[in-house]
Amino acid sequence: MILIVDDSRENIISLKKVLEKNGFQVDTASSGEEALRKVLKRYYVLIILDVQMPGMDGFEVAEAISGYSKAKETAIIFLSAANTDIKFITQGYSSGGLDYITKPVDMDILLLKVKTFYTIYEQRRALNEMQKALLDEIEFRKKAEQLKDEFISIASHELKTPLTSIKGYIQLLERSIDKDDIPTVKSRFSKVQNQIEKLNLLVADLLDISKIESGKLKLNIKDFSVDELLDNIIEMMQQSYPDFKFTITGSVNEKTFGDEMRIEQVIVNFITNAIKYSPGTNEIQISKYICNEKLYIAVKDFGIGMSKEHQEKVFNKFYRVEENSLRFQGLGIGLYICEQIIKLHHGVIGVNSKPGAGSEFYFYLPVNAIQ
């Protein structure tokens, strides 16, 4: 946008007409004071400023404008009588550029200058945008690097914990074997198995992450029964968590196409999270149904829940709700992997939650779209 400042209406009209005819957007002010008010409110690429005006003259206006942050990059073309000395005004004016044209105005020269300033302005804007994009990229990479470092340190800790337990139980196991104490041997043996299973899951998650990063996470699509899959999952969960009450509502009653093992991984992840983040409660509700050719599965708990802000981020890689991170162990990759699996199935994953009231994690995917 160009601002023409001139006390003569005829000059304004003729300049405006020529500029608008050449595709420029034009605003006008008929005095220095009006120009200052306008410059305060909006950004102009260029101001065409008559030097001789009653009240504030053009030089005074330019000097005042030089202090405005909005006009930092604005160029000025003075319209002056021949031989006016404009040198002094260039001092202290750190604008996008200064130039002048003597009156009577040669429209061709004016247009040439206006176009030059606009080209410089466009180039500068493109450079600024590029610089901003580069800075954003650097910032993004720095954050990713930092997250990766944190992740490696948490992952090593998470891997070390079951390993230390396994080492301890094996020593105890040795003693119970020496004493021929079979019941204790059995109990310690099952504890070692639990820890190995934990380790196994952790390593599987880490492998999945690396597969996702290299685009190698592939699905093995077949038809399967969701009802059977859920019954098996619940049976397995009930054995591992006998104190919990798992209820299933709805039914699917038809074959679904998808990667059964990966879908199982998502549901198991939802349920283990539901158990982990719901201390002091013992109920998990699972819903399953088909609606508009889509399979819908949700896992609802009555645990700690989370705020809207966290709900938007829990599927991000390495994201953990900070205020809970000391209380609950984890790597912040489970839900990220779930999201990738559901995306590969062309589905949608999400969460509804309320702090203190519990969470419902869900996904839906087309039943037949991928075969």
Q: Are 35 and 49 in contact (CB under 8 A)?
A: yes
Instruction: Build a one-symbol-per-residue string for 163-202: x at contacts with ligand ADP by CB under 6 A, - elsewhere.
Output: ----------------------------------------
Q: Distance of alpha carbon 354 from its chain centroid, rounded?
A: 22
Q: What is the DSSP letter of 53?
A: -
Closest separation in Å from C-beta 280 to ligand ADP: 13
Closest separation in Å from C-beta 279 to ligand ADP: 11
Among 240, 324, 352, 368, binds ligand ADP (CB under 6 A): 324
How far is Cα 51 from Cα 79, in angstroms, rounded to an integer?
Answer: 6
Instruction: Give the contacts of 84 (CB within 8 A, at least 6 positions apart).
Output: 51, 78, 100, 102
Closest separation in Å from C-beta 205 to ligand ADP: 8
Q: Distance of alpha carbon 40 from its chain centroid, rounded?
A: 34
321 binds ligand ADP (CB under 6 A): yes
**Which residue lies nearer to ligand ADP by CB, 59 or 336?**
336
Closest separation in Å from C-beta 273 to ligand ADP: 4
**Paired tokens of 311:** 């709900």
**Which residue lies nearer to ligand ADP by CB, 58 or 334?**
334
Map tokens 């059977």 to a residue.
228
Using CB under 6 A as the binding rule, the residues of this chain from 260 to 299 that contact ligand ADP are 273-274, 277
Residue nearest to ligand ADP (CB): 330
Q: Where are the alpha helices (DSSP H) in the chain?
A: 9-21, 32-41, 58-65, 87-90, 107-178, 182-213, 226-240, 260-276, 308-311, 334-344
Q: Are 324 and 304 in contact (CB under 8 A)?
A: yes
Closest separation in Å from C-beta 213 to ligand ADP: 16
Among 97, 168, 330, 350, binds ligand ADP (CB under 6 A): 330
Closest separation in Å from C-beta 324 to ligand ADP: 5
**Paired tokens of 313:** 């981020």
359 binds ligand ADP (CB under 6 A): yes
340 binds ligand ADP (CB under 6 A): no
Q: Quick one: which of 218, 234, 215, 255 has its CA closest to 345? A: 218
Q: Are 327 and 319 in contact (CB under 8 A)?
A: no
Closest separation in Å from C-beta 331 to ligand ADP: 5
Q: What is the DSSP letter of 52?
A: -
Pick the stretch among 36-44, 77-85, 213-221, 315-323 that binds ligand ADP (CB under 6 A): 315-323
**Which residue lies nearer to ligand ADP by CB, 55 or 356?**
356
Among 301, 345, 364, 365, binds ligand ADP (CB under 6 A): 301
317 binds ligand ADP (CB under 6 A): no
**Which residue lies nearer to ligand ADP by CB, 100 or 319?**
319
How far is Cα 299 from Cα 359, in angstroms, rounded to an integer?
Answer: 8
Map tokens 């059964």 to a residue.
260
Map tokens 């139980």 to a residue.
169
Among 271, 331, 341, 344, binds ligand ADP (CB under 6 A): 331
Using CB under 6 A as the binding rule, the residues of this chain from 81 to 140 that contact ligand ADP are none
How far is Cα 370 from Cα 261, in angstroms, rounded to an integer?
Answer: 15
**Paired tokens of 269:** 């992840």
Residues in contact with ligand ADP by CB under 6 A are: 273-274, 277, 301, 303-306, 314, 319-321, 324, 330-336, 359
